[in-house]
Chains A and B, each alone.
Chain A
């Protein structure tokens, strides 16, 4: 078993994904074998340790994650340059299970991070993907080019939606689901992004009886299933998730998109 102690790695490459989003690539054999949907606890010495989904794995021992600058720790990561040192432990958690068939992917923002390596496996499996990428406005999009390149390998489509209509179709990502679900059979839906979007995806999937897998976020401290800070219902997001199947998502629907706990464990409205 791999130790739950940070392994110090050097940032090899930093890639701009948008004005506020960057990918950091580093060498770590263990992370390079991560499955899509798994995350690492990233230690920024002197700052914090935060969970990040693995957004990229390569056969030559490289791996990467993709960070949006929101607060102190994510900004510190965003500002890192090639040569900076980081600690990583993991990868942790349950991953997406790629199938062979017709699938739908609904993602937004950095929620797309784990969905990219997933799409790579899906297209290797020759699955055809209906990918819906949503955002508020045109500046926010990441991974669109990468998604196009991955999806070009099979009979797939990309649908872009923005709330203000500045890119793709005007509306929410979830608005684009129904026409596709009505048109033909979808075997499975994968989603990651804002929790209210995930909840809506679940509700629509229920109507069409399509199984889904969704990746959730909660405050993480230990990342290994003992501290309880990431709890949602009777589950630990770090260990029983972050990827959950429909039955478990239905069990926690009373919390999903409604409330989450802060660092003290106090429930707060989302």
Chain B
């Protein structure tokens, strides 16, 4: 039998493999992004970039908890103009590069895109769901009118695919997804991290300098899978599943509930950069065992029950 086909398309973004690098993981330099691509990612998403430079929060910015990690990096980024220089340093036309952007209002998003427009960026992901930075993220995500404005402004500025990344901290993630679809989003990424805390009982204080951070890793996977499941029943645009993928079995779960692609972040802390090749092989073996010639044949199968 032929090798199962893992290639996918999300709007005009073509990927050899459905496994993407999640935003904020190693997405600081073009060389690192390229390395992750060479290590088997189908597409790579940059760290979320804002209009102005941000130093982020003080350390500790990360701490391990049972089943996952908490982080409060605080959207540190060099600012869009500096990041433009970063992306201009080398040829990127062969790189399936997705730029993640955050901002507090629609004009910021359109200005950032106009700066990047001439570059060979393949798609944009709008991070309107960071759980721990005031004024950006979840607060944006909760304001339906603002979300609409942002997506419309971005779509006006670029022909490239636009993914909207949602937060599990919303009470109604399905409605947020529907809204994004209605105003022209090309795909939904679910989910970002969950607001959470970890306390050191010896010193009796929160470990993260920002006290509150975002929870990622295996512990959030069942919730992320549920989010994809519910959104799949209500929207037609592709869904990019994200949250706690460490092994190929995790990835398969996401495809079965309707994800077209998945993103991997914290999995790298557990498995290193070989996580992409390992999961890719696991998916191929699974499809072969199930007698499927293409990954597309299993997307959404869990909805038949």
Contacts and interface: CB of A to CB of B under 8 A. Distances in A.
B200 A6 contact: yes
A263 interface: yes
B265 A226 contact: yes
B209 A48 contact: yes
Contact of A265 (B31, B76, B200, B205): B76
B200 A45 contact: yes
Contacts of A181: none
Contacts of B24: 227
Contact of B202 (A8, A46, A48): A8
Contacts of B62: 4, 221-224, 226-227
B207 interface: yes
A136 interface: no
B142 interface: no
Contacts of B77: 264-265
Contacts of A228: 25-29, 32, 47
Residue of B35, B63, B65 with most partner-chain A CB within 10 A: B63
Interface stretch (B49-57, B146-154, B178-186, B291-299): B49-57
Interface stretch (A138-146, A158-166, A172-180, A229-237): A229-237
A227 B61 contact: yes
A231 B60 contact: no
B26 A265 contact: no
A5 B200 CA distance: 9
A41 B59 CA distance: 10
A1 to B, nearest CB: 9
B82 A226 contact: no
Interface string B60-95: 111111000101010011110010001000000000
Chain A: number of interface residues, binned into ranges:
35 or more
A65 interface: no
A229 B28 contact: yes
A227 B78 contact: no
Interface stretch (B120-128, B224-232, B235-243, B266-274): B266-274
A43 B206 CA distance: 12
B63 A226 contact: no
A229 B29 CA distance: 9
B16 interface: no
A225 B71 CA distance: 13
A34 to B, nearest CB: 19
A182 interface: no
B172 interface: no
Given A4-B269, A263-B56, A234 B202 contact: no
Interface in A32-58: 41, 43, 45-46, 48-50
B53 A264 contact: yes
Nearest to B78: A266
A222 B203 CA distance: 21
A236 B26 contact: yes
B218 to A, nearest CB: 14
B155 interface: no
A261 B209 contact: no
Nearest to A42: B59
B203 A264 contact: no
B205 A46 contact: yes
A262 B55 CA distance: 8
B55 A4 contact: no
A5 B198 CA distance: 10
A155 B36 CA distance: 46
B34 interface: yes
Given A225-B269, A266-B82, A4 B64 contact: yes
B58 interface: yes
A3 interface: yes
Contacts of A236: 26, 32
A168 interface: no
Contacts of B61: 49, 221-222, 227
25 contacts: A3-B64, A4-B269, A5-B207, A6-B207, A41-B59, A45-B203, A48-B58, A49-B60, A49-B209, A50-B59, A87-B207, A221-B62, A222-B269, A225-B26, A225-B272, A228-B25, A231-B29, A261-B78, A263-B56, A264-B53, A264-B76, A264-B78, A265-B29, A265-B78, A266-B79
The 7 tightest CB contacts between A and B, nearest first, are A228-B28, A49-B59, A266-B78, A4-B64, A8-B202, A234-B31, A228-B26
Interface of B: 24-29, 31-32, 34-35, 47, 53-56, 58-65, 69, 71, 73, 76-79, 82, 86, 198, 200, 202-203, 205, 207, 209, 265-266, 268-269, 272
Given A8-B203, A43-B207, 20 more contacts: A3-B64, A4-B64, A4-B69, A5-B65, A43-B59, A45-B200, A85-B203, A87-B200, A223-B62, A225-B268, A225-B269, A227-B24, A227-B26, A228-B29, A231-B32, A261-B29, A262-B55, A265-B77, A267-B78, A267-B86
